[in-house]
Amino acid sequence: MSKSKVYLIALSMGVVFFSSITTAAEVNLYSARKEALIQPLLEKFTAETGIEVNLITGKADALLKRITSEGVNSPADVLLTTDAGRLHRAKAAKVTLSFRSKKLEAAIPASYRDPEGHWYGLSLRSRPILYVKGKVEPSELSTYEALADARWKRRICIRSSNNIYNQSLVASLIAADGEAKTMAWAKGLVANFARRPKGGDRDQIKAAAAGQCDIAIANTYYLAGMFASKDPAQRAAAKKMGVFWPNQKGPNQLGRGAHVNISGAALIRFSKNKESAIKLVEFLASKASQKWYAETNGEYPVRPDVETTALLRSWGTYKADDLNLSKLGELNPKAVMLMDRAGWK
């Protein structure tokens, strides 16, 4: 009995000793953004502020599960995700902490942050229609809805419905057109597939450039990545593609704007380094960081006042769907079920 108490005291002293090592200012970051797409920014942050950033990357849902299991003792301060749906899920799981920051509110348009301050968007990921120049005239294109038209039979390449960006796109259509209409649309779209969905977004662009289909649906930063690729074949494929922004003008819901998703950050409720954590999020929303997103990964900055790159400018400006992004998260399960029923593999 007394022996076990001694052991416990020794143990707790050991723990106290170990935890005292990590008293320097630091932020613990759980990131669904891949290391290569965030680490350089974190290094800049540490250089500027002296605050160390500890990083683990992984799938957003797994990270979220890790946070909920770790509970009040979770070391996580900030969660970075690559889509709004997961930010919504984190908020629904009650692991996020609402916070206000004048800097963030000034920098980020209201539609790209949670109304209650639970999460803030950091970059935009738009999903327009990409077409093969010469085979498709931009005048033939109009809306996502019109892609279900029989004229596109066997001409469309898009990846599997497992992909979050397709799920979000369908969720945005459900929000705009309702479930019944979207169901009919999804069936029409599936009938227009040039091939069974497979591979990633770049694969769809490559397939279109190689002649397998005339239209590819993909996020723009993949196209930008292909332009920046060392592989001449990828650059050549990218050059064959035009970017069309759908749902720009028109009556009612059809002119709502092109579908965008965000990557964003949430503060974790159990955070022990709140001040540093908020500093980090503010840093990621700063002009310099926002420019980095555009330059390094071809994403659109979330701030309207930041200059993008020549390549992004060459694709023109667009109106983005101003649907509240939480909706994407709420409607995600419905979207997946709908795609299952429509036979979208």
Partner 1 sequence: MMRSLSYWSITTTVIALLLGIPACVIVANIFVPAGDVWRHLVDTVLQDYVTNSLLLMVGVTIGSLFLGVISAWLVTMLEFPGRRLFEWALLLPMAIPAYIIAYTYTGMLDFAGPVQTSLRELTGWGYGEYWFPEIRSIEGAAIMLALVLYPYVYLMARAAFISQSLCVLDVSRSLGNGPWRTFFNVALPLARPAIAAGLSLVLMETLADYGTVQYFGISTFTTGIFRTWYGLDNAPAAAQLATILLMFVLVLLTLERYSRRRARYHYTSRRHQEIHRIQLQGWHKPMASLFCFGTVLLGFLLPAGQLTLWAIDTAGAMLNSKFFTLVMHSLELASLAALLTLCVSLVLGYGRRLEPGPTVNIAVRAAGMGYAVPGTVIAIGVIIPFGWLDNTIDGWMRAQFGVSTGLLLSGSMAGLLFAYLVRFMAVSLNAVETGLGRITPSMDEAARSMGYPPRHIMGKVHIPMLKGSLLTAILLVFVDVLKELPATLILRPFNFNTLAVRAYELASDERLADSASASLAIVMAGILPVILLSRSIAQSRHHDAT
* Residue 341 found at the interface with partner 1 (CB under 8 A): yes
* Residue 117 found at the interface with partner 1 (CB under 8 A): no
Report residue 328: phi and psi, to 5°: -60, -40
> What are the distances in angstroms from CA 273 to CA 51, 195, 218, 277, 299?
10, 49, 38, 6, 29
Determine which residue in the list 15, 25, 110, 288 makes contact with partner 1, applying CB under 8 A: 15
* Residue 233 found at the interface with partner 1 (CB under 8 A): yes
Residues contacting residue 62 through CB under 8 Å, at least 6 positions apart: none
Q: Which stretch binds partner 1 (CB under 8 A): 14-22, 174-182, 288-296, 315-323?
A: 14-22
d(CA 177, CA 170): 10
* Residue 115 found at the interface with partner 1 (CB under 8 A): no
Beta carbons of 309 and 298 less than 8 angstroms apart:
yes
d(CA 326, CA 182): 19
Report residue 72: phi and psi, to 5°: -60, -25
Report residue 134: phi and psi, to 5°: 95, -35
Angle between helix 39-49 and 274-284 (nearest 10): 120
Determine which residue in the list 25, 65, 138, 235 makes contact with partner 1, applying CB under 8 A: 65
How far does CA 195 lie from the centroid of its chain?
26
Min CB(332)–partner 1 separation in Å: 6
Min CB(184)–partner 1 separation in Å: 17
The full length of the chain comes to 345
Please say which residue, 16 or 310, places its beta carbon nearer to partner 1.
16
**Nearest to 83, CA basis, from 263, 221, 291:** 263
Q: Which stretch binds partner 1 (CB under 8 A): 105-113, 195-203, 242-250, 288-296?
A: 195-203
Q: Which stretch binds partner 1 (CB under 8 A): 120-128, 130-138, 221-229, 309-317?
A: 221-229
Please say which residue, 181 or 334, places its beta carbon nearer to partner 1.
334
SS3 72: helix
* Residue 295 found at the interface with partner 1 (CB under 8 A): no
Site for partner 1 in 120-179 (CB under 8 A): 159-162, 164, 167
Q: Interface with partner 1 by CB under 8 A: which residues? A: 8-9, 11-12, 15-16, 19, 28, 34-37, 54-59, 61-63, 65-66, 68-75, 89, 159-162, 164, 167, 196-203, 206-207, 209-212, 222, 225, 229-231, 233, 237, 332-333, 336-337, 340-341, 345
